Amino acid sequence: CQYQGIGLMELASPSRRRKLSTVRKAIAREALDRDVATLSELARFLGRSTSVLAQALSREPITKQK
């Protein structure tokens, strides 16, 4: 959040600005990859529904693991 200049309150706001949605998606991806939180926990923290987060994450380009 600090790097992008976004506060926690703004992150959990109902705003649909692209910058905010991109940061929310990055946070969700990182937390899920590291097994830090579940999708439901992230949805509550970010003020979004689980289906919205799941859809956002499913739109990510698939990268190949080495």
Measuring CA to CA, which residue among 14, 11, 25, 13 is closest to residue 53?
25
DSSP for 15-52, written as a single string: ---HHHHHHHHHHHHHHHHTTSS-HHHHHHHHT--HHH
Query: Tens place of pLDDT for every residue, the chain, 66 residues?
Result: 777 788 888 888 888 888 888 889 988 999 999 999 999 999 999 999 999 899 988 887 655 454
Question: Contact, 43 vs 50, CB < 8 A?
Answer: yes
How far is residue 39's CA from residue 18's CA, in Å, rounded to a whole number?
A: 20
Which residues neighbour 60 within 8 Å (Cβ) at sequence distance 6 or greater? 25, 29
pLDDT at 34: 94
